[in-house]
Amino acid sequence: MTAPRRHRARGGGDATTGAGSAALRGALLIGLAVVLGVILLGKGFDDGVVASGSDDDGAETGADDEGPDDPVTEQTTTTTVAARPPSEVLVFALNGFGGAGVAGAATDQLNAATYQTVPAADVPADQRVQASVVYFARGFEADAVGVATTLGLAPTTVMALPVPAPAQVPGGDVKGATVIVVLGPDYAPPA
């Protein structure tokens, strides 16, 4: 039996050494690519921004860029749910302090702004309030702020509707409304 003959590869080594060397170079290139990728991804996440498109100098591009020397500023974006059109919001106005015709005036004001309303009501006498409160059902916070603004109330009067409904709502029945306004003496009906 004769031993297998080895063919000399270019460069003076044998064919098995050349294949092993090529495999080693390939593995090193893959390893280098992985390390480089991790470094680049890490740089993208360090500043909280993952750029989807950029200039040669790494600055983010936008319609308001005046030139390549503009400074890059970080921007914080908050996600808020946009208010619905008033015609899609059902509001229940309650007279919370005993002023004559206050809830009716607020209901008329809301209807004029195209909000949907249920008939106005008075809170029980033992549940009167010192300041107005605008309650919102889950997902209707922006709409409640819009109602408060329409009625001339401070946005700080807006809060989540508790379950069960607040004691100011007669019988706890919100009548399907997603925004409930309990008017206090700080509400001034339009003249």
pLDDT tens figures, 135-191: 999 999 999 999 999 999 988 889 999 999 999 999 999 999 999 999 999 999 988
pLDDT band for 4, please (50, 70, 90 cuts). low
Task: Provide DSSP, 117-163.
Answer: E---EE--GGG--SS-EEEE-TT-HHHHHHHHHHTT--GGGEEEPPS
Residues near 101 by beta carbon (within 8 Å), at least 6 away in sequence:
189
Note the pTM of the prediction, 2 decimals. 0.58
**What ranges do the domains of the chain cover?**
14-46, 86-183
The CATH class of 86-183 is: alpha beta
- Tokens 């008939």 appear where? 119
Going by the DSSP 8-state scheme, the letter that residue 98 receives in this structure is -
Of 27-31, 96-100, 130-134, 167-171, the one with minimum mean pLDDT is 27-31
pLDDT tens figures, 45-81: 444 444 444 444 444 444 444 445 545 545 544 444 5
- Tokens 């270019």 appear where? 10
**Positive/negative CA dihedral, 29, 35, 36, 37:** positive
- Using alpha carbons, select from 110, 129, 127, 128 the residue that is nearest to residue 118: 110
Encoded tokens for 66:
């005046």
Three-state DSSP class for 100? coil
- Using alpha carbons, select from 112, 150, 79 the residue that is nearest to residue 179: 150
